[in-house]
Amino acid sequence: MDKQHRKILSFFRIRRIIVPVIIGLGVASFLFIRSFDREAFSQISWTPASYSYIFVSLLLMVVRDVAYMYRLRVLTDGQISWRRSFDVIMLWEFASAVTPSIIGGSAIALFIIHREGVSMGRTTAIVFITAFLDELFYILMVPIMLLWVGPTDLFTTEGSYVLMNTRFGTQGIFVLGYLFILVLTTIIIYGVFVNPRGFKYVLLAIFRLPFIRRWRPQAAETGNEIIITSREMKEKPFSFWIKAFAGTMLSWTARFWVVNAMIMAFAAVSFSDHLLIYGRQLVMWVILLISPTPGGSGVAELVFSGFLGDFIPDGLTPAMGLLWRIISYYPYLFIGVIILPGWLKRVYARKKDAPS
């Protein structure tokens, strides 16, 4: 067993599952006990429509993952099959679920995709472009939602959002987060599509400053990765980008609609409410992006109550937040561990059988 093999196994240790589960369930339990309303639960009417909408929310998670798999196949020009794409996406999602959101699972994604037989240069490009497409979706969707529902409704409960009673407030944190994503995406566009070598030189010049000089080697490596990504992606046809971005839009839209379907199982929701729920999830995503906990555990349950409690019957919000996480988060913790042994056996057996 080589060093990388041991490293990947250590990443999937059971404690990495236990920590986010304990944090998430602990916060959910606290919120549930604090706001428990026996009468609200007794008035829940489980109708065929309720079960149907819960099923739809589960189906939307499948759509989300299939869209991610489709995007991966587009970015690899079909080099990774549908079956292997499933393994990659599930392991990638596991990595994202057990690391703080601000870090993400990109490092382990590089390892996973490369082990599927993709060259390291193309692997680097795929991970960079995946991040770029995700950020681009967000950058485009936010102004659309702002124009459609308006900032007043989007931030109508300003001040009551959990953990958002800060110096900047919910709207301020959202604007700062959006501007950060916009700047980051602009830098990626310049580095990948305009002047990759110039980007590297600027990066190295910045990291000559005394207080950050120690990270200059890592900056040089990032610059090299940008150059590699540029070579891989600059000549792609327009149809390639249409397909990749279509997969991105479908995956993110399905991810957000999970909540809409869940709420419809227990409450009447108008078309305008659907748009507002979708828009508030865009705001939530910025908050979760800076969460210090694995996969946003604890923070996600808190912000769910603050952002979406307006659309849920009184007393049911914490339970709905837990249901949301059970559908959209916890499954990846266990699926990743289940498929890991078979994936390791397959990729290392292929490496062993490959001609030297």
Q: Could you give phi then psi for residue 267, rounded to 5 degrees?
A: -150, 150
201 belongs to a structural domain = no
Closest CA to 54 of 261, 253, 277: 261
Q: Has residue 206 been placed in a domain?
A: no
At 93-146, the pLDDT tens digits run 888 887 776 666 677 788 888 888 888 778 878 888 898 999 999 999 999 988
3-state secondary structure of 324: helix
Q: Note whether residue 160 is domain-resident.
A: yes
Q: What pLDDT was estimated at residue 53?
A: 92
Give the CB-side neighbour count of residue 243, counting CA atoms within 13 A: 15
Residue 127 identity (one-letter amino acid): V
pLDDT band at 158 (very low <50, low <70, confident <90, very high): very low
Rank 10-19, 66-75, 290-299, 338-347 by mean pLDDT and report only the highest: 66-75
- The pTM of this model reads 0.84
Answer yes or no: are the C-beta atoms of 63 and 250 closer than 8 Å: yes
* Structural domain span for residue 133: 3-36+54-164+249-353
pLDDT tens per residue across span 232-259: 787 888 899 999 999 999 999 999 999 9
Assign 3-state DSSP to the chain and report helix, strand, coil percentages, each to 5.
80, 0, 20
- pLDDT averaged over the chain? 80
Distances (CA, A) of 165 to 23, 94, 250, 284: 22, 31, 33, 15
Q: Nearest 5°: phi and psi at 114?
A: -60, -40
Are 30 and 320 in contact by the 8 Å Cβ rule? The answer is no
Tokens 């149809």 identify what position? 239
- Residue 183 resides in a domain: no
Highest mean pLDDT among 55-69, 269-283, 313-327: 55-69
- Residue 219's H or E segment, with its range, is helix 216-233
**SS3 call for 269:** coil
226 lies in some domain: no
Which residues are registered as beta bridge partners of 294?
100
* Residue at 244 is within a domain: no
Question: Is residue 49 domain-resident?
Answer: no
Assess if residue 242 is contained within a domain.
no
Looking at the 3D structure of the chain, how many domains does it have?
A: 1
Residue appearing with tokens 């566009």 = 189
3-state secondary structure of 294: strand
